[in-house]
């Protein structure tokens, strides 16, 4: 990610922060719409889950300018997700729901540059988490 992309991601997340609970609601509704099979993995009461997701996003996004500072926490998060039943192939669908939510939340501020910056951020984080949790996928598999 370029420093400019990191700035775009940080600025756009701060615009969504005032509506973070609505954004999280939108995110899970969208996720369960495009991947209904994932609903069973989550607790019935999603109140706490929404809060944790948004606070983690804020921490990760603020750490983008100093990646080594967030990698240990991202690695532990990835390992916990194995126990939650998350699989490597679920990460792209979660990313799709996240970007869709940001697009809805940001409206006219969702520009092509902001979209590209978020895609780069999610790809960086999710590739690292997948690699930590499941190892590097083999071409032959």
Q: Which spans of this chain sit near ligand HEM (rule: CB under 6 A)?
A: 38, 41-43, 49, 52-53, 56, 77, 80-81, 84, 86, 90-91, 94, 125-126, 129
Neighbour-count burial for 1-12, b at 16+ CB within 10 Å, e otherwise: beeebbebbbeb
Shortest reach from residue 108's CB to ligand HEM, in Å: 26
Shortest reach from residue 19's CB to ligand HEM, in Å: 18
Toward ligand HEM, which CB reaches closer, 56 or 65? 56
Toward ligand HEM, which CB reaches closer, 18 or 92? 92
Identify the burial level of 137 via C-beta atoms within 10 angstroms of its C-beta, where 0-12 means exposed, 13-18 middle and 19 or more buried: exposed
Toward ligand HEM, which CB reaches closer, 38 or 106? 38
Q: Alpha-carbon distance 3 to 21, whole Å?
A: 28
Q: Alpha-carbon distance 34 to 57, whole Å?
A: 21
Toward ligand HEM, which CB reaches closer, 36 or 107? 36
């Amino acid at each position: 990610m370029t420093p400019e992309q990191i700035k775009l991601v940080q600025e756009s997340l701060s615009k969504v922060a005032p509506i973070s609970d609505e954004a999280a609601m939108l995110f899970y509704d969208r996720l369960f719409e495009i991947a209904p099979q994932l609903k069973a993995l989550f607790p019935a009461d999603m109140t706490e889950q929404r809060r944790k997701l948004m606070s983690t996003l804020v921490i990760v996004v603020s750490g983008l300018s100093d990646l080594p500072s967030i990698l240990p926490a991202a690695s532990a998060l990835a390992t916990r997700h194995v126990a939650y039943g998350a699989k490597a192939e679920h990460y792209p669908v979660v990313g799709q729901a996240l970007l869709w939510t940001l697009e809805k939340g940001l409206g006219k501020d969702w520009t092509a540059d902001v979209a590209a910056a978020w895609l780069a951020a999610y790809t960086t984080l999710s590739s690292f988490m997948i690699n930590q949790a499941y190892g590097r996928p083999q071409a032959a598999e």
